[in-house]
Structure 1
Amino acid sequence: AETGEIKGHYLNATAGTAEEMLKRAQCAKELCVPIIMHDYLTGGFTVNTTFANYCRDHGLLLHIHRAMHA
């Protein structure tokens, strides 16, 4: 941009299974996307904890939202 403003992207890793979400998180890391997004209500408590631990262990920033339509 002419203003020098840096743009970013949150890759949405919400999926039907925890395994697929972890695959999407790994893909984000390979693409050098530092922030991934996950729908908290769709995932449920167990997936949220697993996903948060994975992101922390792999240097990813996790943004949790609650849109219910990811």
Structure 2
Amino acid sequence: QYICYVAYPLDLFEEGSVTNMFTSIVGNVFGFKALRALRLEDLRIPVAYVKTFQGPPHGIQVERDKLNKYGRPLLGCTIKPKLGLSAKNYGRAVYECLRGGLDFTKDDENVNSQPFMRW
């Protein structure tokens, strides 16, 4: 058993993006197949970086109102494969998920405006 301390320069992270920070620090590291076991025990975020977080633009009630779903948890998924689908196939995957009863789908953090699927 080993303990490792890792520090990242703040310039690596998009200001105000919790998603970018966590996927950069945790997401890809936990996917390393060479690691048999890994546990994150502490995460310290500098105050200067915390100040860049503005919070969500609205709360869960707005989401429930948009979806017209109340009194139960909202259920969603991330579309897979996360990269490589054409816009048509990506749309089809979203359609099938929603038609099957999910409330929402979410893009994987690695999905961006790619030459074969522009935003």
TM-score class, shorter: 0.3 to 0.5
Task: Report which structure shows greater RCO (CA 8 Å, sep ≥6).
Answer: 1
TM-score computed with the length of structure 2 as normaliser: 0.29
Larger Rg: 2
